[in-house]
A = this chain, B = another copy of it.
Amino acid sequence: MKEHEITKDKSALSVSAGVKGGHDGMSIQPKRFQKKKKENFDIPKLAGEVRSGLRTSLSKAITLIESSNNEHKEQAQKLLQELLPYTGKSIRIGITGVPGAGKSTFIEAFGMMLCNLGKKVAVLAIDPSSTLSGGSILGDKTRMEELSRNHNAFVRPSPSAGTLGGVHKKSRETMLLCEAAGYDVILIETVGVGQSETYVRGMVDFFLLLVLTGAGDELQGMKKGIMELADCVIVHKSDGENMQKAKRTVREYMQILHFLQPATPGWMTKALPVSSIEKNGLSDVWKLISQFETTIKTSSYWETRRLEQTKEWFHLMIRDHLIDSFFQNAERKVQVKTLEEAILQGEMTVTQGVRKLFK
């Protein structure tokens, strides 16, 4: 997967490099020559193209952000810095749900409705499980075929995962690129694995949880505390013979939500029935989100939360850096493992283990 990622990056980036140097992006070149080409990236030009809304340039910019090449990283940051003043104007929406809840069907239908309202919609995905599952969400672009072809939409498949910290970081920056490209609504899809929802909650304004009818069995498979991250619970597939059951499930969720802490201070989390197939309830969701926006902007928590999120992101990245660089050392990893075993065997205390490690 890792190898595939690098290959993908190279070829994607050499399209742009190829234009300048007149080389075929696919040809194999000596490393030094390749390196020189990479340095010649025209960042101000790319920034201009992204801002003008050129989709291929936005794709190229995201690939640059996702690249693990050191020079690319440097250039990606320059690009992002140039675009920073044009970010922050979208509404950022996180979407999660159990597998089978129909997330992509919902995103396709909801996204199409927004496009028809004249909104520019970008769809991103955070899928920390993709190294294991081979990319379960958005990996298959055809799943949002109609939306992908709409000129108001931009659908970006999941980046090859690697560490969550990395995914997290790149997704935030990708989101900023989409904002600079003029997208009004950013939909960020995530799967309930590990800490991905907490990460997504930490980068969006509004968080949607998709569930199915029969809440009880359903929630058993969900992550702890996930209900309390949501600003809206959508009871999906509320159609056909499912309608009665869906209505009951909505009531059940409303009741549970009444007892739980709301995700956003000053907002009472609501449950809504939605059918993406029959196109029912989609506009209610959008109405709710607009209502949320007005309410939270009035209380000024909107901006406060965004600033807090950026601050937290910075501190999270500092911590990630400290921990990653510590564990990068292969010898240290072995040492930690050895000490861990000694501790579990009762040969030393945890404190002694930590001391030995940092001596």
Contacts and interface: CB of A to CB of B under 8 A. Distances in A.
A317 B77 CA distance: 33
Contacts of A339: 314
Interface string A161-178: 000000001001100000
A26 interface: no
A350 B321 CA distance: 12
Interface in A304-349: 307, 310-311, 313-314, 317-319, 321-323, 325-326, 336, 339-340, 343-344, 346, 348-349
A261 B228 CA distance: 13
A77 B349 contact: yes
Interface residues of A, number: 57
A5 B313 CA distance: 35
Interface stretch (A27-35, A124-132, A216-224, A272-280): A216-224
B317 A81 contact: no
A1 interface: no
Nearest to A318: B354
Interface stretch (A50-58, A252-260, A289-297): A252-260
23 contacts: A77-B349, A80-B349, A169-B351, A219-B259, A219-B260, A222-B261, A224-B228, A224-B260, A224-B263, A227-B260, A252-B259, A256-B256, A310-B343, A310-B344, A310-B350, A311-B344, A314-B353, A318-B326, A318-B336, A318-B354, A319-B323, A322-B326, A325-B358
